[in-house]
Structure 1
Amino acid sequence: MSEFKQLFSPLKIGSFTVRNRIVSTPHHPLFTDPDGLPGSREIAYWAAKAKGGIGLVESHVHPIHNSIEGSGDLFRNPDAVRKFHNAAEAIHEHGAKFVCQLWHPGTQGSAMFSAPWGPSLVSQPNSWSVPHEMTTAEVRDVIAGYARGASVLREAGVDGVEIHGAHGYLITQFLSPLSNLRDDEYGGDFERRLNFPLQITEAIRAEVGRDFTVGMRISGDEMTQDGYTSEDFVRMVPYLTANDQLDYLSVSVGIYRSKDTIIAPMYYPGGAFVYLAAMAKEVLDIPVFCIGRINDPVMAEQILENRQADMVGMTRANICDPELPNKAREGRVDEIRHCLGCNEGCWGHVEKSQPITCAFNPVIGREESWGETRRTTNPRRLVIIGGGPSGCEAARVAAGAGHQVTLFERGESLGGQTNIAARGPGRTDFAEVGRYFSVELRRLGVDVRVNTDATAEAVLGLNPDEIFIATGGRPRVPDHIEGIGRPNVVQAWDVFNGTAECGQRVVVLDDDFHIQGLNVAELLAAQGKDVEVVTREFEVGPHIEPNTRMATLRRVNELGVRLSPTTWAREIGADHIVLYHFYSLNEETRPVDTVVLACNVVSETGLGEELAERHPRVRFIGDAAGPGLLERATYTGHLAARSLEGAPTEPLLNAPMRRG
């Protein structure tokens, strides 16, 4: 399997041939220039993928019509040809091909100043209003917009275009009986609902000819009540690909009503939706692309061997490690930094309209400004205390630059709090953090001392030039709750670790606002316990990445977990808890056997403060500098290591310590 004969075989896709079967499917990094066109930051991001050995890079969505609020018709911009040409050249320089996506959001577009366009008066989850039902003339004008976009991209030297017909956007809205209630040329029965995408393809072909690659992305199942199913999809495929109008079909899944399937979080198994591509491949002769949490080249090779698809979408896998193709081809599989499926730095940022990065790999999105880590001309002796993600990332970067690094870890393995998280239901992928860093630090020659409690004397005895404090945090105990120290009050960490037992009736006090409270509730509910999650916030888990939150809420609901937002505890007794509404202050006493605390962490700074009094160069990183998520831990660790060379840094490097 390590030879990956299928994965690294070429494939002809319409007018071009890719060097291997790995594709980064379209996703918006939010790196565009202010005009919405590719700029240097975005081009650097794409070029890094090409340099990493990928076969095909696909762009994000590009709007094709002035009816799209906030963006309009990108391809009327006189700079479009030049900027897309720059992107294509940068990608081609490293041997990859480049396809750009044509898009209209339809009803899922912005509606702040005008109603979004759609086939019928059916609102979508991402819409703020009832849509404007498109007239026949407007439908045809939008079709012309797709053709115009394809023409511009061909002129720019892009290798092909992809029509975005997936994820509940305008084409899906025409295809679906859920959203298309028309009774004209573009709706009313199965075949008429197909006319819109068919006419788009025909218009594009009339504009660009047959010697230019044209593909389509489509959801193989809407995964929602009253939407079209995989059986409907298989009926569509022969129509959509008739007369060789399409050179490939990229099979995705879901719409915004089932958004957690589109960018599947950690709960979903690897390759969860490959079966939809396999269904299309059974009836097609053109290349078929698949997606669905494929983060391992071994898995990708198996998909190709099983003839389930011809190209394997490894999008987040290549965000997390752009060098994945090269590493796989060169037999360095153990060195791959596998995507966790946490979605925090990628889709989680997009949901907040922030440029993406990767929680596991902070270089992502900063390729242009950071550049590659250079070998040092002034090696330093660095001691790092703590083997969690922040300490490990700092050790990796520093050792890679040629510094002498010693790392102390009191536990038996690297990974820190991610080892605890990995024990939660559906969260085992977090174990990859410790695995990856163990391999990398050994490869780089870091002196890793596990099962070792660092002391000031031991650290100073190594005569370090620099000391990084990555001691993490300890679970927080909230104040002002009578009885909080009782023996029936336990920490979520101890429940995950199996060192705390819970009775039948459990209340989880969630002051973390992320996934820990819900995840420990799921663990206990799966054991048959009666579980309630209480939080002071308006919602439970409001800061969880939305797709993960959608899946999490579904899972706890199926187990009967009770959710009580805007609620907190006033008193805990041996067999009861007094809860109160956080705003009205109305109280209610409930029977309880065990109270579980999921209340964030408090920075562990004691050893660091002692060392700071005795050494001039002590730096706090990760949770030791203030509690945060994995993304913040790897980011602060990486920046600290880069600063050893006087490299440009960003805020958070010397973030103040928080003690509560």
Structure 2
Amino acid sequence: MSKSYEKLLAPGLIGNLKLKNHVIMGPTETLYASVNGEVTRPIIDYYVRRANGGAGLIVLHSAQGNTKIDPIDPYAGSLRIDDNAYIPMLSQLTEEVHRAGAKIAALVSPGGGAQSLGFPYERGTLETIPNVGPGEKRSMVAQRPVRKLTVEEIHKSVEAYGQCAGRAKASGFDAFYIHAVGGYLISEFMTPYFNDREDEYGGSLENRMRFLIELIESCQKYAGKDFPLVVRMSIDEYMGDAGRGIDESKEIGKMLEAAGVAAIDCSAGIFESMHMLIPPIYLPEGVLVPLAEAMKSAVNIPVITQGRLFDPDVAEAVLDEGKADFISLSRAWIAEPDWVKKVMAGDVQGMRKCLTCNYCIGSRVFNNLPLRCAFNPEAGRENRPETTMTMTASPKNVSIIGAGPAGLEAAYILGQRGHNVDIYEAGDEICAGQLSAAMLPPCKATLKNIPDFFGSQLSRLPNVNIHLGSPIDENNAGELNADIVMLATGAKPLVPNIPGIDGKNIYTAEQVLREKVSLSGNVVVAGGGQIGCETAHCLLEKDCKVSIIEMLPGIALKEELITMLTITNILQSSGADVHTNTRILEFKDGVVKALETTKNEEIEIPFDSVVLAFGTLPENSLYKTLSEKYETIIIGDSGEVGNIRTAIETGYFAGMEL
């Protein structure tokens, strides 16, 4: 693949809007807005940081433009643009983004429709207010009652929306994105899945498109036909015959081009097919590119693609092969705010490439929490005192035991701040522990982005030394040349006291993933958390017959929603036999004896092999020895078992606070 990135870095044009490159920062809800939907300092700092990182066009996360007709916020705290009172702070945002060298577009929605998950805009409302939609069909995800909009309300919505475009232009935005994506209100009018109307806004494709076409005309009325409009839409809803597919979307594309739209941003899915709307790690890189390619065959205006394109080589190839005209990255910019700047410098190895773990959205925004990133602890904390890098006035000698994510992040921060750091790792490579095993199941190679980043960045710090194949134990712990020690030895497998657990043909998940044993036939995976599920996935691909036993009511319950639903579907469709609410009693003579707790019934499951995946416990056995001689700080799983996010975050703040 090309290393010059000529297509990505070449100037581009959307309508009359000139862009310095072909890389767009796509929208991602942040929940940084004020309680009244106003732009705040954290929002400005977040986007300016990415403008400084080289984004050609930044698309502001969704602002609501029709709160009187659709009275329920799609999220817990969206931006608003439905009143002139919002113009001053919107203007402050556009001014600062422009000063940082980027263009910026407003993404505006006339409502969340049946899918709204937030609260009434009228704070303190006691009565239940239904969502609204083209009909009364409920979203399977939101599960809220829906009131059908009247024709008069649709006309008022069209007028209100056009006024939002006028406000966006007055606020200094360079373009206007129409939020017709993902099963929200506009999208619901466009799809037969939600739209069962029998008037002029339902039935035929022309009627289902009437609302969007009228919105476009209203925008042109209030903002002028020279103000670039981009329609962001799902090209395939992945709902089969019940929804809208590629062929119909291509016809829609032709209608949008005829209506004067400047570009089409090609997404996918609705809430019911959320794994396509926000593709998780289990889907391939560039998963949505074929949708853009299909749309490009139908229209002559620019087509924007997205969907796991965090790798610049993959993104460049998409443009070079003519499959799309622009690349839109959302989660990639959260993880790496200097995405374009590093591409321009040829520093691809030094990028924090997105892990597509969906912590940002699934674990944070969907739970009404402000946006954060598992890989980048500074995301959402820009320009805060606790994340402002300062050189130390008194450099310390710091020894870090363990070169996993926590230890490496701590070393990276400490090294930049001027401390002298020695990292001691028992393995022969960094991230040789739990993380290296986590990279082995199907689809998980993306986690290699972590050692790739730290390996590249730490090699540039002369005051950071990594000692591989150098275990620290009670015998040599006292020989460290250290003022401070950080213990980052991770976690060890949890092996509960179950009769027969030490019998033959019983192995740990790590042994299986590292292929230290080869299994076949009937395999019981004991534990349905992430480790158990991904080990089961690996075994299913090797044609084993897999049974998963989990005490909790479901599997992968600690994972964010999209990841949980996707891996659950993969396992079930691959033939895994899943037993939830089931407690293992004994392993004996090739049989697992277990209790189905909801029925209080004992069951027996035969096995050729058992894989133990009960989770992990902190490994901090060296703490007592170390703390007797050094100031010792425990970070990552050594203190409390968590995940990649908690490991990196504890390492980051340990480095910043020293």
1:241 aligns with 2:244: no
Aligned residue runs from structure 1 range 379-418, under 5 A: 379-415=395-431, 416-418=433-435
For 1:97-108, list aligned pairs within 5 A: 97-103=103-109, 104-108=111-115
CA distance in 1, matches of 2:175, 2:347: 32
* 1:19 matched to 2:20: yes
Matched, 1:352 2:367: yes
Q: Is the 8 A contact 1:40 1:368 kept in 2?
A: no
Aligned pairs for 1:256-275 (under 5 A) are 256-275=271-290
Paired with 1:458 and 1:47, the residues of 2 have a C-alpha distance of 48
- Matches for 1:198-209 after TM superposition, within 5 Å: 198-209=213-224
Deviation at 1:461, TM superposition (A): 3.1
Correspondence 1:586-601 to 2 at 5 A = 586-601=601-616
User: In structure 2, do the counterparts of structure 1 residues 466 and 310 end up closer, same or farther at CA, with 3 Å as the change threshold?
Assistant: same
Superposition pairs of residues 603-622 of structure 1, within 5 angstroms: 603-615=618-630, 617-622=631-636
Q: Distance in 2 between matches of 1:73 and 1:604?
A: 44
Return the offset for 1:414. 1.1
Shift of 1:386: 0.2
Counterpart-to-counterpart distance in 2, 1:583 and 1:449: 51
CA distance in 2, matches of 1:457, 1:89: 60
One-letter amino acid of the counterpart of residue 414, structure 1: I
The structure 1 residue matched to 2:639, chosen from 617, 625, 643, is 625
SS in 2 for 1:153: helix
What are the Cα deviations for residues 445-467 of structure 1, in whole angstroms up to 9, with x where unaligned? 32111111124564543421211
Residue 463 (structure 1) aligned to one of 473, 481, 484: 481
- AA of the residue aligned to 1:47: V
Are 1:56 and 2:60 an aligned pair?
Answer: no
Tell me if the contact between 2:396 and 2:484 (Cα under 8 Å) persists in the aligned partners. yes
Partner of 1:655 in structure 2?
none
Give the whole-Å Cα distance in 2 for the aligned partners of 1:460 and 1:107: 63
CA distance in 1, matches of 2:65, 2:147: 18
Q: Take 2:308 and 2:503, find their aligned partners in 1: how far apart are those partners?
A: 43
2:86 paired with 1:75? no
Give the equivalent residue in structure 2 for 1:651.
Answer: none
* Corresponding position: 1:212 with 2:227: yes
TM-score by length of 1: 0.94
Equivalents in 1 of 2:507, 2:159: separation in Å?
63
Counterpart of 1:34?
A: 35
Task: Please point out which of 96, 99, 102 is paired with 1:93.
Answer: 99
Instruction: Read off the aligned partner of 2:519 and give its amino acid letter.
Output: C
Distance, in Å, in 2 between the alignment partners of 1:555 and 1:168 is 24
Of the candidates 281, 306, 310, which is equivalent to residue 291 of structure 1? 306
Aligned residues of 2:441 and 2:535 also touching (Cα < 8 A) = yes
Match for residue 650 of structure 1? Answer: none
**1:145-175: CA deviations, max 9, x gaps?**
2112212211111222111101011111111
Q: Does the residue aligned with 2:395 lie in a helix, a strand or coil?
A: coil
Aligned to 2:116: 109
Match of 2:124 in 1: none
What is the CA-CA distance between 1:28 and the residue it aligns to? 0.2
Per-residue deviation at 1:638?
A: 0.4
Q: Tell me, what secondary structure is at the counterpart of 2:61? A: strand
Aligned mates of 1:232, 1:381 — CA distance in 2: 64
Cα offset, 1:12, TM superposition? 2.2
Residues 353/538 of structure 1: CA separation in 2 closer, same or farther (3 Å cut): same
Q: Provide structure 1 residue ranges, at least 5 long, that are not aligned to the other structure.
A: 645-660
Distance 1:273 1:73 in 2: 27
CA–CA distance in 1 between the matches of 2:396 and 2:474? 19
Long gaps (5+) in structure 2: 120-127
Q: Which residue number in structure 2 is paired with residue 9 of structure 1? A: 10
Q: Distance in 2 between matches of 1:540 and 1:171?
A: 35
Moved over 6 A (4+): none
**CA offsets per residue over residues 46-76 of structure 1, 9 Å max, x none?**
1111011111111111112222314799334
CA distance in 1, matches of 2:300, 2:159: 28
Paired residues of 2:25 and 2:58 also in contact (CA < 8 A): yes
Aligned length: 639
2:651 pairs with one of 637, 650, 654: 637
Q: Distance in 2 between matches of 1:364 and 1:204?
A: 33
Residues 374 and 401 of structure 1 are in contact (CA less than 8 Å); yes or no, is this contact kept in structure 2?
yes
Q: Secondary structure at the match of 2:247?
A: helix
Q: Is the 8 A contact 2:51 2:58 kept in 1?
A: yes
2:245 aligns with one of 229, 247, 254: 229
Q: Distance in 2 between matches of 1:605 and 1:203?
A: 63
The answer as to whether partners of 1:50 and 1:91 remain within 8 angstroms in 2 is yes
Higher mean displacement: 559-568 or 303-312: 303-312
Quick one: distance in 1 between partners of 2:96 and 2:251?
Answer: 40
- In structure 2, what is the equivalent of residue 429 of structure 1? 446
Contact in 2 for aligned 1:600/1:627 (Cα 8 Å): no
SS of aligned partner of 1:434? helix
Structure 2 residue 144 is matched with structure 1 residue 129:
yes
What is the rounded CA distance, in whole Å, between the counterparts of 1:515 and 1:277 in structure 2? 33
Q: Which deviates the most, 141-150 or 63-72?
A: 63-72
Q: What is the CA distance between 1:23 and its match in structure 2? A: 0.9
C-alpha separation in 1, matches of 2:624 and 2:520: 40
Q: Give % identity.
A: 28
What is the RMSD computed on CA atoms of the aligned residues? Answer: 1.8
Aligned partner of residue 523 in structure 2, secondary structure = strand
